[in-house]
Amino acid sequence: MFQISLYTALGLSIAGLLFRIYRFQKKGSSGTLKLKLSLNLKPAFFNTIFQSKLFYASKTRWAVHFLVFSGFIYLVFFHALDEWIAFNLFQSYQPTLDPFQFLRDFAGFLVLIGCSGFLLRRILNTWINPDNTTNYKGLFPIILILLVMGSGFMLETIKIISEPVFLEMVEDYSDIDEDTDLDHLKIYWETHYQVRFKKDILITEEALEHGRRLNTDYCLDCHSKIKSAFISKALATQLDKPANFLNYYRADNWLYPIHYLLSFLMLVSLPFSRFFHILLIPFASAQQKMTVRHFQEKAVSIHPATFSACTNCGLCSAVCSVYPNFLITGNKQILPHFKIESARKMMAVAHLNPKKLNQLQLGNDDCTLCHHCTDICPSGIDLQGIWQTLPQTLHKMGYPDNYTFVKDTALQERENKEWEKEQADRAYDLTQNLTGRVYSFENCVQCTVCTNVCPVVAYGGNDNDMTPQQIMNLLRLGKKQTAAGTRMVWNCLTCYMCQEHCPSEIKVADIIIELRNISNQTTDSLKIMGAADKADK
């Protein structure tokens, strides 16, 4: 049973791993050119063993995570794999011998505390911020680890109090035949090792002393005092009453498969759940980080596996430079930890909801590439690289940035009275509303001073259509949307040369910037409509 499930789990896990690797390879990298594969082993090592980046990001979260990490690693190597590792490393290794007995309980205790910390943070998060949707993907590993730990402790406890286990051990490891000897050993174990026996045996000093000698002869080599297994001992004390019942039904025989099956479930789910971060974070941390030079030379490549290394911890969004954009526009796709999730889905499945992709494009457009998220990311993901290559990928999929979108859309399409109405409804009184108030541009005498000082007019050539003074004229003709769609408005450097030189003191640059705002809104609406049409199809 054990062997079969172990090999099944191992097989499934490896098959899953290969499947994931195959998928990653098939998806290819995001970005234009491939970099030479160069792994940075030093940051990968420190980030894997000590979680150094998490330490810099948040001390509390590091402490909690490290509890789980260290406890878990100990349990894997010295408890789960003890046959291969611990027995070979230490001559005198026995799971029931100190210090291993104590360390096992201690490690389990650390993991329990850590996982409770994880859970507590999640509960507090949803409590403080009700909008924060619970992430079940992140909840699964925590619950599973807690179940494995819980079943482990219960198993140990029940083995401690179990009479049948005691009798089996006596049979296997001693040559006690006489009933009185056995009774004396029972007495000693009942008082010192908390085994609960069905029949009460009269305890005498003499019997106890004899039991102690028998214990020294047969048991002491492999059994340390029970108090070092402090959690199981405490639990055993609690289970005093139902002990006989549990012993009668051999609860240990039930719990053992539960314990190892849960552990195998962990192994199977490794490539498909949040557990995968154990393997992906070392990989992501080892990936070469993009430098300015890479971007200038357009030699950028992001491995798709790094997308999946995200554990959705949200530390990136807390330091995001454009967080205020999110506060006003409410577009979640501005925040890095939502963006990477969408980007990951986008890479994994081709047909993602067009509305969401559109939001992703608009959100990613707001990114100022400040590198804060990459600096803090505990998984060591090169987020900045992703944000910089994302627009290209989105463009290929039919979600260009606003500049390209306006360039490729005919001006006539924007001449739609509905826009005017819709935009009038929005809170325009908050802006200066220069384009809506005639006095802000009516004084233009078409003297061409603005045109003469404009660098875009001077060097734009065929790339440019109107001049600033013509924009003013379009406004006077009431063609706001046409003006908003011109190349002049979108090529404007916002250098304010025109405004500073205008003899009529017209705020030319401010008007052009406001036109670009309007144009952006129109474009966003056009895009959302287009995305909705795509979604309908």
Residues making contact with another protein (CB under 8 A)? 292, 296-297, 319-325, 327-329, 365-366, 368-372, 374-375, 384, 401-404, 429-432, 455-456, 458-461, 463-464, 490-497, 499-500, 507, 509-510, 513-514, 516-517, 520
Kindly state the smallest distance separating residue 370's Cβ from another protein, in Å.
Answer: 4
Q: What is the DSSP letter of 30?
A: B
Taking the C-alpha atoms of residue 486 and residue 377, their distance in angstroms, rounded to an integer, is 41
Taking the C-alpha atoms of residue 31 and residue 342, their distance in angstroms, rounded to an integer, is 17
Tokens 């490729």 belong to which residue?
408
Tokens 């450097």 belong to which residue?
493
Cα angle 34, 37, 42 (rounded to 5 degrees) comes to: 135
Extract the tokens encoding 173: 């490891």
Kindly state the smallest distance separating residue 386's Cβ from another protein, in Å.
Answer: 14
- Which CB, 53 or 274, lies closer to another protein? 53
Taking the C-alpha atoms of residue 216 and residue 209, their distance in angstroms, rounded to an integer, is 11
Taking the C-alpha atoms of residue 384 and residue 372, their distance in angstroms, rounded to an integer, is 9
Kindly state the smallest distance separating residue 529's Cβ from another protein, in Å.
Answer: 18
Kindly state the smallest distance separating residue 368's Cβ from another protein, in Å.
Answer: 4
- Which CB, 366 or 415, lies closer to another protein? 366
| CA 503 from centroid of its chain's CA atoms | 57
- Which CB, 57 or 155, lies closer to another protein? 57
Helix axes 508-536, 354-366, angle to 10 degrees: 160
Kindly state the smallest distance separating residue 294's Cβ from another protein, in Å.
Answer: 11
Kindly state the smallest distance separating residue 367's Cβ from another protein, in Å.
Answer: 9
- Which CB, 130 or 461, lies closer to another protein? 461
- Which CB, 232 or 522, lies closer to another protein? 522
Task: Please say whether the dihedral angle defined by the alpha carbons of residues 102, 104, 107 and 112, taken in this order, is positive or negative.
Answer: negative
- Which CB, 231 or 492, lies closer to another protein? 492
Kindly state the smallest distance separating residue 399's Cβ from another protein, in Å.
Answer: 16
- Which CB, 203 or 322, lies closer to another protein? 322
Taking the C-alpha atoms of residue 486 and residue 471, their distance in angstroms, rounded to an integer, is 8
Taking the C-alpha atoms of residue 145 and residue 80, their distance in angstroms, rounded to an integer, is 14
Kindly state the smallest distance separating residue 531's Cβ from another protein, in Å.
Answer: 18
- Which CB, 56 or 323, lies closer to another protein? 323
Taking the C-alpha atoms of residue 284 and residue 382, their distance in angstroms, rounded to an integer, is 8
Taking the C-alpha atoms of residue 369 and residue 321, their distance in angstroms, rounded to an integer, is 9
- Which CB, 134 or 433, lies closer to another protein? 433
DSSP letters along 265-329, please?
Answer: HHHHHTTTSGGGHHHHHHHHHHSPPP-HHHHHTT---B-HHHHTT-----HHHHT-TTHHHHHHH
Which of 435, 452, 455, 458 lies closest to 503 in space, CA to CA? Answer: 452
Kindly state the smallest distance separating residue 312's Cβ from another protein, in Å.
Answer: 21
Kindly state the smallest distance separating residue 128's Cβ from another protein, in Å.
Answer: 13
Taking the C-alpha atoms of residue 93 and residue 86, their distance in angstroms, rounded to an integer, is 6
- Which CB, 306 or 491, lies closer to another protein? 491
Which of 493, 492, 507 lies closest to 444 in space, CA to CA? Answer: 507
Main-chain phi, psi angles of 302, to 5 degrees: -115, 125
Taking the C-alpha atoms of residue 28 and residue 394, their distance in angstroms, rounded to an integer, is 15
Kindly state the smallest distance separating residue 501's Cβ from another protein, in Å.
Answer: 8
CB atoms within 10 A of CB 127: 9
| CA 446 from centroid of its chain's CA atoms | 57
- Which CB, 225 or 298, lies closer to another protein? 298
